[in-house]
Amino acid sequence: MFTSRVRSIAVTLALVVGAGVGAAGIATAASNSANSNGGSPPAAVNPAAMKHGPGEQLLAGSTAAKVRAAALAAVPGATVIRVETDSAGAAYEAHLRKADGSEVTVKLNSAFKVTATQQGFGAPPAGQGAPPQPGF
C-alpha cells in the first residue's frame, strides 16, 4: 500500500511539472510568434535621438496620430519610426520601417493626405546634401 501511494504521488507530481513546463513553452512560442513580422523584430528606435532635416520638428498629439494613421494606411504592415514636419515641400513626413526591413518616407499635405512615398529616408531639401539617416 505504501509503495502504491508513493508511486501515485510521484506520477501526479511528474504530471504537474510536465504541464507547467509545457505551458511555459507554449507561452514562449506564442510570445515569439506575436513579435514576429517575417524576420527579426525591428530595433528599438528613439526618434528624438535621430537626425532630421533643418527646421523639422517631431510631431506629438493628435497631429502625430493623424500622420501615423495616414502613413500606415499607405504602407500596410510597416512600423512608424518617427513623424515630423517636413522642410522639403510637404507639410508632414513619416519615416517607416516596412516588414522586409527596408525604410520608406511618406509625405503628407496639411490635410493629412499622402502626396508621395519615397524609398529610404527621403531626399533632403535642395542644396542640403545627403539625406539624414537614422542615428541608431
Look up the CATH number of the domain holding residue 71.
Answer: 3.30.505.20
Higher pLDDT pick, 21 / 81:
81
Which residues, in sequence order, are CB contacts of 133 under 8 Å at separation 6+? 51, 121
Report if pTM > 0.95. no
Is 42 contained in some domain? no
63 and 5 fall within a common domain: no
Is 61 contained in some domain? yes
Is 60 contained in some domain? yes
Is 27 contained in some domain? yes
60 and 19 fall within a common domain: no
Q: What total of structural domains would you count in the chain? A: 2
63 and 96 fall within a common domain: yes
**Which residue range forms the structural domain that includes residue 30?**
1-35
67 and 9 fall within a common domain: no
- Please check the confidence at residue 109 and state whether its pLDDT lies above 80: yes
What confidence score (pLDDT) does residue 81 get? 95
**Residue 17, SS3 per DSSP:** helix
C-alpha to C-alpha distance for 20 and 14, rounded to whole angstroms: 10
What does residue 53 show for φ and ψ, rounded to 5 degrees? Answer: -65, 165
52 and 114 fall within a common domain: yes
The pLDDT tens digits for 29-44 are 444 433 333 333 344 4
16 and 58 fall within a common domain: no
Residue of 74, 86, 76 whose CA lies nearest to 121: 86
